Amino acid sequence: MKRILITLAAASCMLCACTSGNESSDPRVNSLMKRMTLDEKIGQLVLFTSDWSVTGPTMRQGYIDDIRSGRCGNIFNAYTADYTRKLQEIAVNETRLGIPLLFGYDVIHGFRTIFPINLGIAASWDVPAIEASARIAAREASAAGLHWTYSPMCDVCVDPRWGRISEGSGEDPYLGSQVAAAMTRGYQGDDLSDPVTILACVKHFAAYGAPQAGRDYNTVDMSERWLREFYLPPYKAAVDAGALSVMASFNELDGVPATANSFLLKDILRDEWGFEGFVVSDYTGINEMVCHGYAADEADAGRLAINAGMDMDMQSASYFNYLKDLVKSGKVSRKTLDESVRRVLNVKAALGLFDDPFKYCSPEREASETLTEENKAFARKLAAESMVLLSNDGVLPLKKGEKIAVIGSLADSKDDLLGSWRGAGEVRSVPVSILEAIREANGGNVIYAEGCKERGEDRSGFSKALTAALGASKVIMVIGENNNWTGEAASRSDIHIPGVQSELLRKIAATGKPVAVVLLNGRPLDLSAELPYAGAMLEAWYPGTMGGYAVADVLFGEVNPGGKLPVTFPRTLGQVPIYHYAKNTGRPYVHPEAKYESRYLDVPNEPLFAFGHGLSYTRFDYSEIELSSPAFSGDGSITAEIILTNSGERAGGETVQLYIRDLVGSVTRPVKQLKSFSKVYLEPGESKTVSFVIDKSMLEFYRKDMSYGAESGDFKVFIGGASDKVREASFSYEE
């Protein structure tokens, strides 16, 4: 076996190889940079895909040759310990310098053990649990030879038409920031060279979640003020948490594609935030600038991208094909090329790949740490915690032993539990469907009828479904979207429940039997037509590998639901975009009969379910807010307290949310902004005082001159269990 040529001491910190001018603190990187040819340098900026056929992992012969020649230094979509070792052996043993490959993969909400979709995970509002889920995903993925995940997705989104809303944390920049930082910490741990950690990738930078018309890949256009205040915070939180790679988004911003947007990639990311890792394009994102009308051809696209700060080219082959000539002609400086190469090598060093390029290829760990009972138990718990009880008139929880009818094709689907971007998760690893879990929990006393598919107009199963309902004491109807109806390239112009599922729900409700609806979906839906016919409605999202069991746990009351919506559910698509931090306007909606106010003629302004909404099987009562002082100044603070009481008969958890409104500013301010939250667990009859410290940082914003800071004035503070169900108090601040 050929020995790796670079054998100097390893780095000791997260980015031990951080740059300092043209030098690295890791001497191995400096040594390599002096010895690499132009082709070898370019190769470190090339990222090509592996394939996965019915017979297993494959690699196009041309890419194998490119690895062997040093012209491809990074591979994605290659996993399993044995396969990545074979590819790594080519890079280490058959190339001139033996530089290890970097292996990346879409580990989005789990690798083999699949957790709820990211929107569902965010609905838990459980930051430690979210971090733990990323840690489990990292352990499983790293054992399969992976070094790098394209996560966390930090895209704020207020438009449910966009399919990729399922991959993010919803509409709020504060909650999104908490989730982004937690996932980054979970993936990368305290020491990136630890073989149970993987490299996080902050995506999609920036504002990818705001495409016009909610259509994927579409144009994004917003003010810099709005961008900085409501869209950038989650990305920055992930960078601040130590993420060492960032993925540029497909969209343009202010007329410039993000792939070559130096304002984003240089001015903000590197100069303002001090980011020291590398930036990668999204899949063929560089060449797509030709279609944008921003680049004349693919060579021009490569020039624009690398000069704007794009370090690595994912699959476009623009750098592979054209960068050498661009450097030789002077259109790309050698300094620019070297900076990008050094960033990639620094991260490889931080991962410990120069110490042992095979340490992530562990068949033993792959066998012992994948889909373990502990991992599955955690996935079950997190899935249950992520579910949101939207409504309930007493139908839930179910009593074991009563005759239950389960209706809907989604009830008997294991595949749809996994959602989109399910990593290397497999249907065969899903132990039970929702139907099977209900049967198991209820001792088999279940009648099942498909009723209808989740799409299409076939009503032939209606009669059997109605017969099943009439033969039961309660009905569980599982409805929603196919898993492939959300995610990338899955935008919808209509956010109603598809097909004839709602029609069947109305007919079943007409029998007089109590009906509980379980929703499988990856976006907010217009549920205004279904809500009147559902005695209870449980938002289960796509709950993952153990989702069937988790749904049954909640339905039968083994778990008291405590999830809260991370995104607003509109009552009609015409309200979109709708979100809790809207502005008041000069003519706010105050009087129901007034015409000349900012309102609709046909529906209320209020959503069907507000941000932060979520019910429980118990009842939580909030006292009035007590402030430690009516005012504070400078770097001081005040404390806001409420007494939370569990007035019901079950133990349960409540996410207490704090919002603030700045009543007058140098620029107009939102009516509410989430600034903190606390998860509280109470036994029946128990009370706790919940305290929040309000300081200057909670009052800061981008002022009229675009400086960031607080302003003197009057404020309102709101505390409650949802953005529309709060207590309020007033205070003032003096700068």
Active site residues: 282
- The alpha carbon of 417 is separated from its chain's Cα centroid by a whole number of angstroms, namely 17
Q: Which amino acid is at 517?
A: V
Distance (Å, whole) CA 384 – CA 449: 25
* Residue tagged 């030098």 (tokens): 23
Query: Of 47, 76, 165, 149, nearest to 420 (Cα)?
Result: 165
Tokens of 614: 């979520």
What are the φ/ψ torsions at residue 463 (nearest 5 degrees)? -60, -40
- Between the two ends of the chain, the Cα-to-Cα distance in Å is 67
Which H or E element spans position 178?
A: helix 173-188
Q: What is the DSSP track for 584-639?
A: --SS----TT-SSSS--SSS-SS-SB-TT--B-SS-EEE---EES-SEEETT-EEE
Which phi-psi region, left, alpha or beta, contains residue 228 (left: φ > 0; alpha: ψ -120 to 50)? alpha
- Compute the C-alpha angle 488/529/448, nearest 5°: 80
**Alpha helices (H) in 442-540, listed in sequence order:** 462-470, 501-509
User: HSE-up of 540 (CA within 13 Å, CB side)?
Assistant: 38
- Compute the C-alpha angle 525/530/533, nearest 5°: 155
Instruction: Count CB atoms within 10 A of the CB of residue 534.
Output: 25
Burial of 227 (0-12, 13-18, 19+ CB in 10 A): buried
| 8 A C-beta contact, residue 151 and residue 201 | yes
What are the φ/ψ torsions at residue 11 (nearest 5 degrees)? -80, 160
